[in-house]
Structure 1
Amino acid sequence: MIKHIVMWKLKDFAEGADRAANAVKMKQKLDACAKLLPGTLKFEVALAQPGLEATYDVILYAEFANKEALAEYAAHPTHKAIIPFIGAVRDERQCMDYDI
């Protein structure tokens, strides 16, 4: 199983909206990828929450059956379609994939 964790810090203002609005829009777009493929075992998107520690604005935690399933997700048209928006609103990105 491959675990896929990505964290994004967003720009204060981008694409005509502030950080909070873009975080919500980004979560909606990512949530649309949750059930794209049978090899996706878990898919969770969360936003930084007031009162809880967070150094990033948006996080994706996903589990895939194997490397092939992760590659299939990465190449899926729905996933590829959100990449330009994320690229436009993000300031920083951290990612780690690992096999268990």
Structure 2
Amino acid sequence: MANTSSAKKAVRKLERRTRINRMRRSTMRTQLRKAEEAIAAGDATTAKAVLTATESVVMRSVQKGVIHKNTASRTVSRLTKRVKALADVAAQA
């Protein structure tokens, strides 16, 4: 348990940052789930629109320090590849 006033303040700040980061991570995961659902639905135009929003949310999470830059880049890259494959299949049909 924190004894000094500065340590108590540090604990309060840590709890606040934890709540904020948890909210941001939850928002990001929700957006990723929407992207997954759009890809699974098979609609290329909807998937592209959702991908744009998802990329924005994921990269904002990087700026806020919720996840690492390489993790975000890998996630966005994989989603983009899947959306592109979906668009290619739609174009061939």
* TM-score over 0.5 (shorter chain): no
Of structures 1 and 2, the one scoring higher in RCO (CA 8 A, sep 6+) is 1
Structure number with higher strand proportion:
1
Structure of greater Rg: 2
Q: Which has the higher helix share?
A: 2
Question: In which range does the TM-score fall when normalised by the shorter chain?
Answer: 0.3 to 0.5
TM-score computed with the length of structure 1 as normaliser: 0.32
